[in-house]
Amino acid sequence: MIAFIIRRLLQSLLVMGTVAFIAFSLFNFVGDPVNNMVGQEATEAEREYIRQLLGLDQPFYIQFMRFVGNVLQGDFGQSYRLGQPVLNVLGDRVPATLELVFVAAVMALVIGVPMGVYTGLKRYAISSKLMLTISLIGVSLPTFVIGIMLILVFSVWLNWLPSFGRGQTVNVGWDSNLFSLEGWKSMIMPAITLCLFQLTLVMRLVRAEMLEVLRTDYVKFARARGLSNRAVHFGHALKNTLMPVITITGLQVGGLIAFAIITETVFQWPGMGLLFLQAIQFVDIPVMATYLLLVALVFVIINLIVDMTYYFVDPRLRTEGKGGGH
Partner 1 sequence: MGANCFGAAFIAAVLAVGTGVADAKTFRYSTTGDILGLDPYTNNEGPTNTMKSNIYEGLIHRSYDLSLSPGLATEWTQVDPLTWEFTLRQGVKFHNGNDFTADDVLVSYERIKQPASNMTFVVASIDKVEKVDDYKVRIVTKYPDPTLLLNMPNFWIMDKEWLEANNAMDIAEGASVSTYANLNTNGTGPFKVVEWQPDTQVVLEPNADWWGEPQHNLTQAIFKPIGNDATRVAALLSGEIDLMYPVPLQDIPRVNDDPTSTVMEGPELRTIFLGFDQHRDELMDMPGSGKNPFKDVRVRKAFYQAIDINLIQKRVMRGASRPAGLMIAPGINGYPKDLDVRFPYDPEASKQLLAEAGYPDGFPVTLDCPNDRYVNDEEICKAVVPMLKRVGIDIKLNAQTKSLHFQKIGRSGTPWETSFFMLGWTPGSYDAHNPLMQLMTVDGEGQGTWNSGRFSHPRVEELTDMIAGETDVDKRNAMIAEAMEIHRDQVGHITLHQQALAWGVRSDTVADVKQRPQNDVDLRYVTMK
Partner 2 sequence: MADSKTIEKPIVEEHMGLFARIGDSFRRFLDGDIFYSFIHSPITVIAFVVTVICFVLAAFAPWLAPHNTNDIATLLLDNAELPPFWSSYTASWGEELHGRTEFLLGTDPDGRDVLSGIIFGMQVSLIVGFGSVILAMAIGITLGLISGYIGGKTDSVIMRIADIQLSFPAILVALLLFGGIKSVLPPAERQDLAIWVLILAIGVSNWVQFARTVRGSTMVEKSKEYVQAARVIGLHPILIMIRHVLPNVMGPVLVIATINLALAIITEATLSFLGVGVPPTEPSLGTLIRVGQQYLFSGFWWMTIFPALALVVLALSVNLLGDWLRDALNPKLR
The contact set with partner 1 (CB under 8 A) reads 30-47, 49-51, 53-54, 78-85, 89, 92, 148, 151-152, 155-156, 159, 162-166, 265-268, 270, 274-275, 278, 281-283
Annotate 181-210 with b (16+ C-beta within 10 A) or e (fewer): eebebbbbbbbbbbbbbbbbbbbbbbbbbb
| Residue 189 DSSP symbol | H
Site for partner 2 in 137-196 (CB under 8 A): 137, 139-145, 148, 152, 156
Binding to partner 2 by residue 277, rule CB under 8 A? yes
Of 278, 214, 226, 223, whose CA–CA distance to 80 is shortest? Answer: 278
The CB-of-39 to partner 2 minimum distance in angstroms stands at 22
Of 98, 53, 95, whose CA–CA distance to 77 is shortest? Answer: 53
Write the burial class of residue 143 (CB in 10 Å: 0-12 exposed, 13-18 middle, 19+ buried).
buried
Binding to partner 2 by residue 267, rule CB under 8 A? no
Phi and psi at 317, nearest 5°, equal -80, -10
Site string for partner 2, 218-257 (x = CB under 8 A): ------------------------------------xx-x
**42 binds, options partner 1, partner 2, none, Cβ within 5 to 8 A by partner type:** partner 1
Q: Residue from 104, 194, 202, 300 that binds partner 2 (CB under 8 A)?
A: 300
CA distance 296 to 302: 10
Q: Residue from 35, 122, 129, 243 that binds partner 2 (CB under 8 A)?
A: 129
CA distance 166 to 210: 38
Three-state secondary structure call for residue 225:
coil
CA distance 252 to 264: 18
Which residues of this chain interact with partner 2, rule CB under 8 A?
A: 11, 14-15, 18-19, 22-23, 25-26, 29-30, 129, 132-133, 136-137, 139-145, 148, 152, 156, 204, 211-212, 215, 254-255, 257-259, 261-262, 277, 280, 292, 295-296, 299-300, 303, 322, 324-326
